[in-house]
Chains A and B, each alone.
Chain A
């Protein structure tokens, strides 16, 4: 069942001199089972939007239908607690949410809060650990001894163990080295392909968006600017420039080739495909 967002508005500190309208009427239908990227400049309302998805903040106006829940300005927190289990939200730099003495306890913290049985939690931890690239020897260690990248794996494991249907990730690869970032992204891809989880990704990294996502939602000034299939989207790099984001390298290369008079198949997004397009157009190598 898709996520339906209707006329969503959100105002911070309403009724004070610090009032700030972050969302100004957002209408979206987000399909499930896909990998969706939400992009936009800082302050465009991305973070505010994703915090609505698990009812961390309630709309000032409008409504959200997600996982069988209908959230309106009058929704009570008590009624939506289970929604937070179904929609796992991983914040930027999630390593800062670790607090338990051992990694095992920290990973178990979420499901325990949602009332999952201890045996089941144990079983899930065993399943999740290899997924995030950790092994059982870590379980009894303190999360504070780990390196930054490992802490992030533990924090993400703490959300995955809740077995969410929808996984919302705010810049999950920020600050990681390229190798770990890639591992992290392929983990999410596996979750999407194998466990059929919906992945919503807030990202500034266009290479990741092009490589891993199915659909793109562009936010600008508290509104949705466009929502498109990812390959369709990167045919119009000017939308990206409008929000001051550089297109991925391959798209830039394509543009340059086109400007120099080469005819390029608009659907080619890999070097091999580009080379294929160019074959025959290059008369000779000098």
Chain B
């Protein structure tokens, strides 16, 4: 329960921490599109340069960003097996009777692994350098223009911040209920499949009940204090873009343009 690397804010004092959350979100969006451009393996070079720069300035260790990949190793192996079995394009590498392995099986798997890895590093840089509340504020500001077509920007941002706020609470709650049920003989590690399903049920039902309870109470508390989602409000923290933001966005756009060009040649 304690190894959630993805999404944890690290309070370091770097220039990336001080950047405007709006520009960081926009850059992440641009880079996400870039990662998925079909520019071939050479297309990852500019992205890697960008990521190296981001990691350097955010003082994050590469191993920290990669920690989230550990549990995905099995998924990668599974992908490789599936690709080896079904991929029928590229050059033939091995041929034992019906069992044929083509080169695309490996290159396609490599693409997926590289793309996921890059995405995870990019997301980790964003969440590790941006406080959750700044992040939602950034999202709210970015969605503001869409309010004209009926998108409830503030409500979405409020929902995200409430969800983020309750993650640690729910983890605590889960641990508590797990201990309580363990005291009643629940054993999550040993036992048959049916026993395990029952064990998980004894955990999920109370967790949902208390989550709904909390939601009700929170709604009451917000209403009691006169919360109105449509009210116009001022901010204690005013977002302001600086030269660093403009430079970083320009950098991201250059990387995007390079890869776009690489797609055509």
Report A's interface with B, CB cutoff 8 A.
Answer: 13, 16, 18, 51, 54, 56, 77-78, 81, 84-85, 88-89, 91, 94, 96-99, 109-114, 144, 158-159, 162
Q: Which residues of A contact B234 (CB under 8 A)?
A: none
A selection of 18 A-B contacts at a CB cut-off of 8 Å is A56-B179, A77-B187, A78-B190, A81-B187, A88-B183, A96-B173, A96-B206, A96-B209, A97-B177, A97-B202, A98-B206, A98-B209, A99-B201, A99-B209, A109-B202, A144-B209, A158-B184, A162-B185
Closest to B182 in A: A56
Chain A residues contacting B180 (CB-CB under 8 Å) are 89, 91, 94, 96-97
| A-B contact number at CB 8 A | 66
Contact at A16–B2, with CB atoms within 8 Å?
Answer: yes
B191 to chain A, nearest CB (A): 9
- With A56-B179, A96-B206 as contacts: A113 and B184 at CB distance below 8 Å: yes
* B14 touches A (CB below 8 Å): no
Given A78-B190, A91-B180, A96-B180, 17 new contacts (CB under 8 A): A18-B2, A51-B179, A77-B189, A77-B190, A81-B187, A84-B182, A89-B179, A96-B173, A97-B184, A97-B202, A99-B205, A109-B185, A110-B185, A112-B185, A113-B187, A144-B209, A162-B185
- Chain B residues whose C-beta falls within 8 Å of the C-beta of A78 in the assembled complex: 190
Q: Is B181 an interface residue (CB 8 A)?
A: yes
Partner of A162, one of B182, B184, B186, B201: B184
Q: A88 CA to B202 CA in the complex, in Å?
A: 18
Interchain CA distance A170-B49 in the complex, whole Å:
55
Q: Which of B184, B209, B210 contacts A110 (CB 8 A)?
A: B184
State the Cβ distance, B146 to closest chain A Cβ, in Å.
Answer: 39
B191-209 contacts to A, CB under 8 A, are 201-202, 205-206, 209
Query: Does B176 sit within 8 A of A, measured CB to CB?
Result: yes
B187/A91 in contact, CB under 8 A: no
- B179 surroundings in chain A (CB, below 8 A): 51, 56, 89, 91
Bound CA span A116–B61, Å:
53
Chain A residues within an 8 Å CB radius of B206 = 96-99
Please name all residues of chain B whose beta carbon is closer than 8 Å to the beta carbon of A99 when the two chains form the complex. 201-202, 205-206, 209
Q: Which residues of B contact A112 (CB under 8 A)?
A: 185
Task: Tell me the minimal C-beta distance from B70 to chain A in angstroms.
Answer: 15
Q: How far is the CB of B110 from chain A (nearest CB, A)?
A: 33
Taking the nearest CB of chain B, how far is it from the CB of A245, in angstroms? 24
Of the candidates A81, A96, A111, the one having the most CB atoms from chain B within 10 angstroms of its own CB is A96
Whether A56 contacts B185 in the complex (CB less than 8 A), given A96-B206, A96-B209, A144-B209, comes out as no
Flag if A91 contacts B183 (CB, 8 Å). Answer: yes
The distance in angstroms between the C-alpha atoms of A114 and B186, with both chains bound, is 9
Once bound together, how far apart are the Cα atoms of A85 and B190, in whole Å? 17
Q: Is the CB of B185 within 8 A of A114?
A: yes
Cβ proximity bits B226-251 to A, threshold 8 Å, 1 near / 0 not: 00000000000000000000000000
From B183, B189, B209, A89 is in contact (CB under 8 Å) with B183
Expressed in whole angstroms, the Cα–Cα distance for A113 and B183 within the complex equals 10
Residues of A within 8 A of B176 (CB): 91, 96
Interchain nearest-CB distance for B33 vs A (Å): 35
Chain B residues whose C-beta falls within 8 Å of the C-beta of A56 in the assembled complex? 179, 182-183
